[in-house]
Amino acid sequence: MALRDASVVVIETARTVIRAGLGLHELLKTPSVIIQARVGLRKSSFNTNDIQSDTQSSKNGAVSSRISSLPLIAPPNASVNDYLVGTQLDDALAAGQDIAISWPFADGDVRDWTQAEAIWKYILFNQLERRRAQNESPVLLSMYPGLSRDTYERVCQLFFERFNVAGFAILERPMAQIYSTTSLSGVVVDIEYDKTDITPIYDGFIQRHACDTIRLGIRDCQNHLVHILRQTNSSLMKTLFPPESETPTEETIQETLLALVKQILEEGYVKIPSDGETAIPDDEGVTDIAAIVVAGKEKAVIESGMKKKANAKASAAEQARAREIEALDLVTIQFRDKSVTLGKERHRLCEPLFDPNSQSGIGQSEGFVSLQDAVGRALRQTDVDMRQYIWQGLLVTGDLTRHVKGIAVALQSRLSPYVAQPDLQTDVQPKSIKILYLPEYYPEYRDTGEGFAAFLGCSIVAKLTFSDTHGKNFVSKVDYSQKGPHSVIEMSPALL
């Protein structure tokens, strides 16, 4: 049976977020469904004594660095239909219902199969509106690398027997991410909510012995900036919590400032100062119109030109005042019906990634490793003759890169001590680090940073995989009926 591009489903399963889309188009699109990878269960529906503890989530063999602090609530008698997912869960929380939250993928593995099924079922049948009885959609699923064969086989069984998919393939997330940049070698640095995964890849193969996970993520960055705003911006605190109003609780202060930090992050008001980062020079020569059109930056170029003309006409005093304001780097935004002003302190959001000791003020730096040290340590675990090729592909991805530009440049500048070794000059000695970006010729992805790298890579692989019905890169219904769940291992060469 021929599989149509329009029916293909791509599901990217990360630790704390699920992205999905239906259909592969000539111009590959960004995910149409993005939900948090969590489920909720009304506390009235189970006995609290039956809850599985967080420490038990490591039974699957996950190493300690991968074990998440995000909760796992797993009553043994809960069924798929008992769990709230997506908008169902959001509405219940907004209504003030007493809900227990659980994150089944937070360790990178599957912590609870019933919860995993509830999430994937919600994606397929509620969000993408597939029908189980007549499901003509093949599914490409991406997951954390290095899972056991039993896990892959059980996932395959679930999708065929519970969701009745027309075909199934699995792609490890770091491979999808590196594929999205048209490269086969590099190191993928995936910054997620409470963890950062580091995966060296050489010539299309994950160097599994060198993979690492550190306990730093977006949550640490957000809490760090909350602490800074609270300690240094007294005018902000007075605006949010006027002295004449009722004294707020600690929980209210934390929740309010965290919501503010999330807003300025999502609206793109945060930059990353980096060692050795160079400014982009003004274009005083011939403008490459073709390149601008391909990149979709016509509007930005026009606005820049108009701004330059306006500045040229301004008086010396006006220009001096403009430079003074620019140096202060102030932004004023609307937050909960209030006008708040923030300064340069907002650019310190990502400090914990590069300097874990910066979190000492909130008591969270002990045992943390900086991003540059973790990447350098991972690369030292790879074979010497591979390193020069892996260093030529530094890909920094994750949700944080969708809103904050320059993280890769900041990391690149801090990694130079791991590359430059004047005393060791050989043919295999790396000489530089090259940053990987998503290609400009995917217009839907131009303004998304590298945050959707995994989904783009999955879409590319799905287009190639399911278009070749005679290939052995996915499991068809015929294959599954003949060989069972083990067929996913045979049909996925990277999993062998």
Quick one: three-class SS letters along the chain? CCCCHHHCEEEEECCCEEEEEECCCCCCCCCCEEEECCEEEEHHHCCHHHCCCHHHHHHHCCCHHHCCCCCCCCCCCCCHHHCECCHHHHHHHHCCCCEEEECCCCCCCCCCHHHHHHHHHHHHHHHCCCCCCCCCCEEEEEECCCCCHHHHHHHHHHHHHCCCCCEEEEEEHHHHHHHCCCCCCEEEEEECCCCEEEEEEECCEECHHHCEEECCCHHHHHHHHHHHHHHHCHHHHHHHCCCCCCCCCHHHHHHHHHHHHHHHHHCCCCECCCCCCCCCCCCCCCCCHHHHHHHCCHHHHHHHHHHHHHHHHCCHHHHHHHHHHHHHCCEEEEECCEEEEECHHHHHCCHHHHCHHHHHHHCCCCCCCCHHHHHHHHHHCCCHHHHHHHCCCEEEECCHHHHCECHHHHHHHHHHHHHCCCCCCCCCCCCCCCECCCCCCCHHHCCCCCCCHHHHHHHHHHHHHHHCCCCCCCEEHHHHHHHHHHHHHHCCHHHC
The answer to the question of residue 474 being in a domain is: yes
Mean of the pLDDT values across residues 287-313?
A: 57
Co-location of 47 and 20 in the same domain: no
pLDDT at 232 over 50: yes
pLDDT at 360 over 80: no
The answer to the question of residue 87 being in a domain is: yes
Co-location of 59 and 21 in the same domain: no
113-134 as b/e: b if 16+ CB within 10 A:
ebbbbbbbbbbbeebbebeeee
- Comparing 146-155, 238-247, 315-324, 448-457, the range with the smallest average pLDDT is 315-324
Whether 352 and 221 have beta carbons less than 8 Å apart is answered as yes
Structural domains counted in the chain: 3
The answer to the question of residue 357 being in a domain is: no
pLDDT for 420 equals: 67
Mean of the pLDDT values across residues 135-151?
A: 93
- Comparing 239-248, 324-333, 347-356, the range with the smallest average pLDDT is 324-333
Task: Provide the pLDDT confidence category of residue 427 given band limits of 50, 70 and 90.
Answer: low
The answer to the question of residue 164 being in a domain is: yes
pLDDT for 88 equals: 93
At residue 418, φ and ψ (nearest 5 deg) are -85, -10
Co-location of 60 and 107 in the same domain: yes
pLDDT at 277 over 50: no
Is the pLDDT higher at 321 or at 456? 456
Whether 99 and 92 have beta carbons less than 8 Å apart is answered as yes
pLDDT at 430 over 70: yes
Mean of the pLDDT values across residues 436-458?
A: 93
Mean of the pLDDT values across residues 368-397?
A: 93
pLDDT tens digits for 101-131?
999 999 999 999 999 999 999 999 999 999 9
pLDDT for 418 equals: 86
Residue given tokens 């990178």 in the structure block: 108
Co-location of 143 and 73 in the same domain: no
Whether 128 and 436 have beta carbons less than 8 Å apart is answered as no
Co-location of 71 and 108 in the same domain: yes
Output Rg (C-alpha) for the chain, integer angstroms. Answer: 24
Is the pLDDT higher at 300 or at 281? 300
pLDDT for 281 equals: 34
pLDDT for 34 equals: 96
Task: Provide the pLDDT confidence category of residue 364 given band limits of 50, 70 and 90.
Answer: low
pTM over 0.75: yes
The answer to the question of residue 208 being in a domain is: no
pLDDT tens digits for 3-43?
778 899 999 999 999 999 998 888 889 999 999 999 999 98
The answer to the question of residue 426 being in a domain is: no
pLDDT for 276 equals: 44
Task: Provide the pLDDT confidence category of residue 303 given band limits of 50, 70 and 90.
Answer: low
Name the token pair of 121. Answer: 């079922």
Co-location of 52 and 26 in the same domain: no
**Euclidean distance between CA atoms 174 and 453, whole angstroms:** 9
Last residue of a domain, one of 327, 347, 376: 327
The two beta strands, 9-13 and 17-22, are antiparallel
pLDDT at 244 over 90: no
**Residue-averaged pLDDT of the chain:** 84
The answer to the question of residue 188 being in a domain is: no
pLDDT at 278 over 50: no
Co-location of 58 and 118 in the same domain: yes
pLDDT at 283 over 50: no
pLDDT for 229 equals: 92
Mean of the pLDDT values across residues 207-224?
A: 94
Co-location of 97 and 154 in the same domain: no
User: For the domain that residue 1 is a member of, what is the CATH number?
Assistant: 3.30.420.40
The answer to the question of residue 58 being in a domain is: yes
Residue 321 domain boundaries: 289-327
pLDDT at 374 over 90: yes
Residue 484 Ramachandran class (φ > 0 left, ψ -120 to 50 alpha, else beta): left
Co-location of 163 and 23 in the same domain: yes
pLDDT for 320 equals: 65
**What is the percent of the chain where pLDDT is above 90?**
58
- Comparing 19-28, 217-226, 304-313, 435-444, the range with the smallest average pLDDT is 304-313
pLDDT at 157 over 60: yes
Co-location of 159 and 169 in the same domain: yes
pLDDT for 284 equals: 40
Whether 438 and 445 have beta carbons less than 8 Å apart is answered as yes
pLDDT at 373 over 90: yes
Mean of the pLDDT values across residues 91-103?
A: 93
Co-location of 140 and 103 in the same domain: no
Mean of the pLDDT values across residues 303-318?
A: 63
Mean of the pLDDT values across residues 322-343?
A: 79
Name the token pair of 171. Answer: 């792609």
Task: Provide the pLDDT confidence category of residue 454 given band limits of 50, 70 and 90.
Answer: very high
pLDDT at 185 over 70: yes
Co-location of 79 and 145 in the same domain: no
Q: Which span out of 147-151, 312-316, 320-324 was modeled with the highest average pLDDT?
A: 147-151
Whether 92 and 40 have beta carbons less than 8 Å apart is answered as yes
pLDDT at 54 over 70: no
pLDDT at 60 over 60: no
